[in-house]
């Protein structure tokens, strides 16, 4: 029988997307792994692959369509011997309760039909889940009716159950527009305040809605505290100049930000108790230093993650960061490239900002806000007045994960690494 191709969940926060472009047309034969369409999520434009083979019998959603809900049929695939006449009315996406955990990409969903012994919700509605998902839920004592499925028609798959148990207390990011509206006066009330004044109304895209919802939630639910230090950069700048001169033939040019990434990664190894994230009813202590770095793009920002940053050389970190930043600006990052990490860096020094306080990106335990390096008068070791290039940093810390003394140890380790950069290569 004809197979419906459903709008996939291509990122954890995606509830709807824009079908930007079809890469196939009706009548085309496709195989598993062939590219079907380009879909804009709240974070990126991603290519959607076929998981089955057949002939594209009918395209149900035109390219350019916005606000297409996840699990909505977007096309129909025909098997050998079938024709477009066999296609009935598209089915509606299955109704499911609001999620208690982030959904996994729909590409992980199995193609088997839900078993007839599927459990039912308290209202009598049948809950569709794979046998493996039901077994894991039973072992962990989880209520399947309270989990949103990311498979076809809302079917619950293994990843959905695993995500639910790993973050049981995490609040849903659904209805971001409602969360934004709840933060102040209604949109109509605000519009009336500016009647008679010239203004342009800018429509919120998925990324801006998600940023607004997540950062509002972070400020309201994460108990921030702040630690500040000044860092003398003269030794680092001299060392950077020497390295860049030696690496010029290889086309490598290290930035101060590359040193900051390395310094933070090593500091997380020096103070391992601070290399942690909040997971609702527990704290997860990470072994590797996975450091996220905020990258500004048009209309929002990404925080791509450099995994195992403590093991990588400065030149490797520099090349990886340039690649991630470039693809972030083109919205071509895959979800695994901007998810995870325990620590983040936000650097506004290149914009002339002396210092600022950054908002923690959950579930990270901390974020370092980096200001500009500025020539300032300082008192030297022998009491003499001299000048130095000084950079101000602020460490925003989640008090649920890191206490004051531990946060101070982490920041001191970062400062020590940056003021003694040669030691970072030891």
For 61-75, how does the pLDDT look when each residue is reduced to its tens digit (9 = 90+)? 998 888 888 889 999
Q: Residue 331 domain-assigned? A: yes
Cα 365 to Cα 116: distance, rounded to the nearest angstrom: 44
User: How far is the C-alpha of 47 from the C-alpha of 150, rounded, in Å?
Assistant: 18
Same domain, yes or no, for 159 and 184?
no
Distance CA 268, CA 414 (A): 9
Exposed, middle or buried, 290 (CB in 10 Å: 0-12/13-18/19+)? Answer: buried
Report d(CA 204, CA 143) in Å as an integer. 35
Q: How many helices (H) and strands (E) does the chain have?
A: 10, 18
Instruction: Mark whether 282 and 145 lie in a shared domain.
Output: no
Residue 32: partners with Cβ closer than 8 Å, 6 or more residues away: 49, 50, 51, 52, 53
Q: Can you give the C-alpha Rg of the chain in angstroms?
A: 25
Is residue 310 annotated as part of the catalytic site, yes or no? no
Report if residue 150 sits inside a domain: yes
In this structure, is residue 214 part of a structural domain? no
> Looking at residue 64, what is its pLDDT?
85
Contact status, residue 186 vs residue 159, Cβ threshold 8 Å: no
With respect to residue 217, please indicate whether it lies within any of the assigned structural domains. Answer: no
Residue 166 binned pLDDT confidence (cut-offs 50, 70, 90): very low
Closest CA to 351 of 417, 257, 264, 262: 257
User: What's residue 115's pLDDT?
Assistant: 38
Q: Is the pLDDT of residue 233 over 60?
A: yes
Whether residue 135 is found in the same domain as residue 240 = no
In whole angstroms, give the CA distance from residue 409 to residue 268. Answer: 10
C-alpha 34/C-alpha 67 separation (Å) is: 24
**φ, ψ at 389 (rounded to 5°):** -85, 120
- Note the pLDDT of residue 99: 40
Residue 234 included in any domain = yes
pLDDT above 70 as % of the chain: 81
> Residues 160, 284: one domain?
no
Q: Is pTM, for the whole model, over 0.85?
A: no
pLDDT digits (tens, 9 = 90+) for 319-341: 999 999 999 988 888 888 998 99
| Number of residues in the chain | 426
Cis ω before 363 (30° cut-off from 0): yes
Q: Classify burial at 394, counting beta carbons within 10 Å of its beta carbon; exposed 0-12, middle 13-18, buried 19 or more.
A: buried
Q: Give the number of domains in the chain.
A: 3
374-391 per-position pLDDT tens digit: 999 988 888 889 999 999
29 lies in which domain range? 3-166
181 shares its domain with 323: no
**At 39, which helix (H) or strand (E)?**
strand 35-40
Q: Is residue 10 part of a domain?
A: yes
- Please check whether residues 228 and 299 belong to one and the same domain: yes
Q: Would you state the pLDDT for residue 126?
A: 64
Contact between 9 and 174 under an 8 Å Cβ cutoff? The reply is no
Q: In terms of pLDDT, which residue wins out, 266 or 77?
A: 266
Separation of CA 28 from chain center: 34
Q: Are residues 234 and 360 in the same domain?
A: yes
Distance CA(49)–CA(36), nearest Å, equals 5
CATH number, residue 66: 2.40.50.100
Mutual angle of helices 404-419 and 234-247, in 10-degree steps = 50
| Distance between CA atoms of residues 302 and 294, nearest Å | 6
**Rounded-to-integer distance, Cα 84 and Cα 366, Å:** 55
Write out pLDDT tens, residues 83-139: 666 565 555 554 444 444 343 333 333 333 333 344 555 555 567 776 667 777 776
Helix axes 158-166, 131-140, angle to 10 degrees: 20
DSSP characters over 328-346: HHTT---HHHHS--SEEEE
Same domain membership, residue 240 and residue 119: no
Residue 171, domain member (yes or no): no
Same domain, 87 and 121: yes
Residues sharing a CB contact under 8 Å with residue 378, sequence separation 6 or more, in sequence order: 232, 385, 386, 387, 388, 390
Contacts of 377 (CB under 8 A, 6+ apart): 385, 386, 387
242 phi/psi in degrees, rounded to 5: -65, -45
Residue with tokens 């083979």: 53
Which range scores top for mean pLDDT: 76-80, 167-171, 217-221? Answer: 217-221
Residues 18 and 118 in one domain: yes
Assigned domain for 213 exists:
no
Report, in this order, helix, strand and coil percent for the chain, each rounded to 5: 35, 25, 40
Q: Same domain, yes or no, for 111 and 185?
A: no
**CATH code for position 288:** 3.30.559.10
202 pLDDT more than 60? yes
Q: From the centroid of its chain, how far is CA 14?
A: 11
* 417 and 279 assigned to the same domain: yes
């Amino acid at each position: 029988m004809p197979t419906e191709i459903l709008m996939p969940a291509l990122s954890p926060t995606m509830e709807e997307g824009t079908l930007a472009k079809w890469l196939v047309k009706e009548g085309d034969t496709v195989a598993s792994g062939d590219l079907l369409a380009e879909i804009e999520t709240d974070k990126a434009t991603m290519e959607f692959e076929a998981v089955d083979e057949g002939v594209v019998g009918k395209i149900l959603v035109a390219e350019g369509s916005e606000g297409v809900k996840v699990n909505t049929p977007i096309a129909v695939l025909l098997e050998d011997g079938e024709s477009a006449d066999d296609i009935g009315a598209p089915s509606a996406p299955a109704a499911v309760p609001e999620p208690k955990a982030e959904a996994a990409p729909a590409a992980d969903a199995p193609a088997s039909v839900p078993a007839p012994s599927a459990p039912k919700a308290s209202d009598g509605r049948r809950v569709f889940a794979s046998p493996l998902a039901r077994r894991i839920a039973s072992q962990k004592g989880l209520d399947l009716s309270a989990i949103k499925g990311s498979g076809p028609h809302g079917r619950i798959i293994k990843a959905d159950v695993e995500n639910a148990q790993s973050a049981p207390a995490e609040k849903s990011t659904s209805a971001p527009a409602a969360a934004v509206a709840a933060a102040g006066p209604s949109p109509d009330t605000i519009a009336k305040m500016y009647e008679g004044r010239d203004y342009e109304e800018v429509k919120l895209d998925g990324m801006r809605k998600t940023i607004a919802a997540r950062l509002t939630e972070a400020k309201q639910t994460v108990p921030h505290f702040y630690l500040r230090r000044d860092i003398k950069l003269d030794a680092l700048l001299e060392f950077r100049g020497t390295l860049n001169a030696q690496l010029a033939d290889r086309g490598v040019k290290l930035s101060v930000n590359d040193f900051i990434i390395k310094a933070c990664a090593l500091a997380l190894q020096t103070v391992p108790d601070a290399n942690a994230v909040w997971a609702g009813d527990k704290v997860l202590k990470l072994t590797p230093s996975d450091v996220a770095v905020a990258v500004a793009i048009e209309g929002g920002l990404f925080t791509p993650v450099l995994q195992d940053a403590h093991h990588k050389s400065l030149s490797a970190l520099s090349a990886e960061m340039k690649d991630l930043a470039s693809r972030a600006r083109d919205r071509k990052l895959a979800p695994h490239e901007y998810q995870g990490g325990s620590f983040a860096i936000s650097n506004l020094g290149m914009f002339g900002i002396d210092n600022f306080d950054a908002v923690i990106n959950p579930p990270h335990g901390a974020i370092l806000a980096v200001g500009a390096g500025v020539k300032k008068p300082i008192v030297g070791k022998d009491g003499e007045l001299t000048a130095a290039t000084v950079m101000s940093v602020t460490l925003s810390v989640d008090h649920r994960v890191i206490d004051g003394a531990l946060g101070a140890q982490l920041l001191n380790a970062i400062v020590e690494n940056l003021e003694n950069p040669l030691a970072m290569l030891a």
